[in-house]
Structure 1
Amino acid sequence: MVRRSSLREIREQTYKVRDAWWTVLLVDPVAARLVWLVAPYRWITPNVLTAVATLLGLGSAACFLLQDRWWVVAGALLFHVSFIVDCMDGKIARLNGTGSMFGTWLDFMFDRVRVFICACALFGGQYARTGSVAYLWVMLGVIFLDLFRYLNGQQMAKVRTTMREQILEARGGPVPTVATVPRGPRARVRQFLAERRIRTHLFSGIEYEMTVFIIGPLTGWILQFAVVAGVLLLIFELRLIHGLWRSTRAFPVALARAQAEGAVLPQRESPSREMNAPVTAD
């Protein structure tokens, strides 16, 4: 008999330390219970869930193409279900140890394909219904910003990882951290979010997609919410880029300091002559 993990174990083993607020509040509570339901069936692999999420995404696109108000609402709901299933694949991988590098690539690529097809269906359908060219321009913007967000995020992560590894290598060990007590309203907000696993980057690619493909269609303000989402995404991405620029400017100084510490550290750690000298009676 296959042992079924408890919901508590699923949360502890599969929840990320920090995640998007949309995922924490609207996805994880449902996804964790679905994982509890399907985890014992080992044939339900992360790749199978990725394929199911993609099929649901195609169903969402088909609803968007029908253009009618309630079909568009159905497409928004299907898109959310697709995202829930897409989040399940990572949880199943962590819980059952069935993840793979190919699965990571497959998940990323199918996510981008889903967004591309849904964007073409949603905005192309609205263009066919209204004849407004604005929908086509916004469609191109949505596709571009989605690709920009994820490619930019990957490249920034590579740069930060490279800088961190070079500093660790130069120093010859981990960089010591000094605990600081949060102060001020901003620090209290950060602590409030951290206690609830919500990252401070409040408008990431996830919130962007959900605003475009769920909130916009549900409210009927498809064009307006897509534009607002694009502006918010750019603002938060520019903040990240500015932070990376500051880090790269400070990197040469940090690397030189790490190299100096690395040269001194062996001397500090090696026992002194006095400590190695034999003990003699007075």
Structure 2
Amino acid sequence: MAQRVTLDEIRTRTYKSRDAWWTVWLVDPLASRLVQLVAPWRWVTPNRLTTAAFLIGIVSAVCFWQGTYAWLLAGALLFHLSFVLDCMDGKIARLNGTGSVFGAWLDYVFDRLRVAVCTIGLFGGQYVLTGNFAYVWLAGLVLFLDMFRYLNALQMGKVKNEMKAGLAALRGEDAPPVVFVEDGEDEHPAERVESPDVADVYGDFRTRFGLFIRIRNALIRQRIRAHVISGIEFMMFVFIVGPVVNGIIGTTLISAALLAGFELLLIYKLYIATKSYARQVAAGPRIPAPAADRDGVPVL
């Protein structure tokens, strides 16, 4: 068994520079301690943790299907445990160097399947128990928003990578590496301009929404991303907060409206960035001055 690592080392090597506030405040403190416990056991692999998280999610859905309050509490507790394990798989992968491309695919697919199964369990169970058809509509709303959120995030990541590559080409640089963006927000965002010579597609957005940028920067200092209601918070409110407070309908509707609002903000931000990008491309490349030899004569 490998030597146990310290909590400080786990935080340094496995914490994301920006994450959902639910993860930062309610998951990471527990997940990091569990990672410290199991990291020396080499049989605890990221893929096994991903699979265990999915299986516990199925058990959570079965609890939800029972419909009564006691079962809803059990389902909410198991859903949170499932999410803790889901966060541990990435930490173990980064800590032990055991991540894989297939593991990233497995984690993503199982996350979406868990949401689908738990949606059927929670809202289907309430419909069977109460006969209220509103739960069927809410199930459709949750599935649609979850699908839209993560499809939109993937496409946003693709567009941002294309703009980065285009701007790099304008400067005569190699294209930056393709980054998988799951949450719709770069972990190291392009709006961090390191020098005046670096093209910036987010300047217009910062000019129009200075207050938002100040709030965002304050959140980032706490490792919290500005996308305050993302897919993670949406899932937690639907599958944990709603059942715990026994207010599934109201909690789902409020969290759905907040998620949609933040998605529209991200889309608007991307729209402004693409307009700025188009202007920079239309202006053409910035050709650097030719180098000169020792006598000051340009080298052609």
Aligned to 2:66: 66
Alpha carbons of 1:219 and 1:193: their partners in 2 closer, same or farther (altered >3 Å)? same
Q: 1:186 to 1:248 in 2, by over 3 A?
A: closer
Q: Report the RMSD for the aligned CA atoms in angstroms.
A: 2.2
Task: Choose the corresponding residue for 1:238, options 259, 264, 268.
Answer: 264
- The alpha carbon displacement at 1:51 in A equals 0.6
1:225 aligns with 2:242: no
1:211 aligns to what? 237
1:87: how far off? 0.4
Paired with 1:164 and 1:185, the residues of 2 have a C-alpha distance of 26
Residue 185 (structure 2) aligns with: none
Determine the C-alpha separation between the residues in 1 that align with 2:255 and 2:213. 26
2:292 aligned to which of 262, 271, 274: 271
- Structure 1 window deviating more from structure 2 (209-218 vs 163-172): it is 163-172
Q: Distance in 2 between matches of 1:184 and 1:54?
A: 41
For the pair 1:260 / 2:298, whether they are aligned, the reply is no
Name the structure 1 match of 2:152. Answer: 152
Measure the CA separation in 2 of the matches of 1:240 and 1:85. 28
CA distance in 2, matches of 1:129, 1:197: 41
Structure 2 portions without partners, runs of 5+: 175-189, 197-202, 204-208
Superposed counterparts of 1:26-175, under 5 Å? 26-173=26-173
Q: Give the Cα separation in 1 of the matches to 2:251 and 2:4.
A: 42
Q: How far did 1:84 drift? A: 0.4
Q: Which amino acid aligns with 2:194?
A: T
Deviations 1:136-157 (A, max 9, x none): 0000110111011001000011
Q: Which runs of 5+ in 1 are unaligned?
A: 278-282
CA distance 1:166–1:188, change in 2 (3 Å): closer
User: What's the counterpart of residue 280 of structure 1?
Assistant: none
Q: Helix, strand or coil: the match of 2:285?
A: helix
- Aligned: 1:24 with 2:30: no
Counterpart of 1:177 in structure 2 is 194
Query: 2:221 is aligned with what amino acid?
Result: E
Amino acid at match of 1:220: N
Higher helix fraction (1 or 2): 1
Q: Corresponding residue for 2:183?
A: none
Query: In structure 2, how many angstroms separate the alpha carbons of the residues matched to 1:243 and 1:276?
Result: 46
Query: Where has structure 1 moved over 6 Å in runs of 4 or more?
Result: none
Number of residue pairs matched?
Answer: 271
Cα distance in 1 between the residues matched to 2:54 and 2:85:
9
Code of the residue aligned with 1:189 in structure 2: it is: I
Give the 3 Å change call, closer, same or farther, for CA 169–238 of structure 1 in structure 2: same
After TM superposition, the score normalised by the length of structure 1 is 0.90
Tell which structure's C-alpha radius of gyration is larger: 1
Identical-pair percentage = 50
Which residue identity does 2:231 align to in structure 1? G
**Cα distance in 1, alignment partners of residues 212 and 68 from structure 2:** 44
Three-state SS of the structure 1 residue aligned to 2:119 is helix
Quote the offset at 1:166 in angstroms: 1.2
* TM-score, scaled relative to structure 2: 0.85
Deviations, residues 127-181 of structure 1 (Å, cap 9, x unaligned): 011100000000011011101100100001100111111110221238963499x
> Offset of 1:186 from its aligned partner?
4.5
**Alpha-carbon deviation of 1:253?**
1.6
Q: Secondary structure at the match of 2:269?
A: helix
Give the partner amino acid of 2:29.
P
Using the TM superposition, give the Cα deviation of residue 243 of structure 1 relative to its aligned residue in structure 2, in angstroms: 1.1
1: CA distance between counterparts of 2:246 and 2:29?
Answer: 27
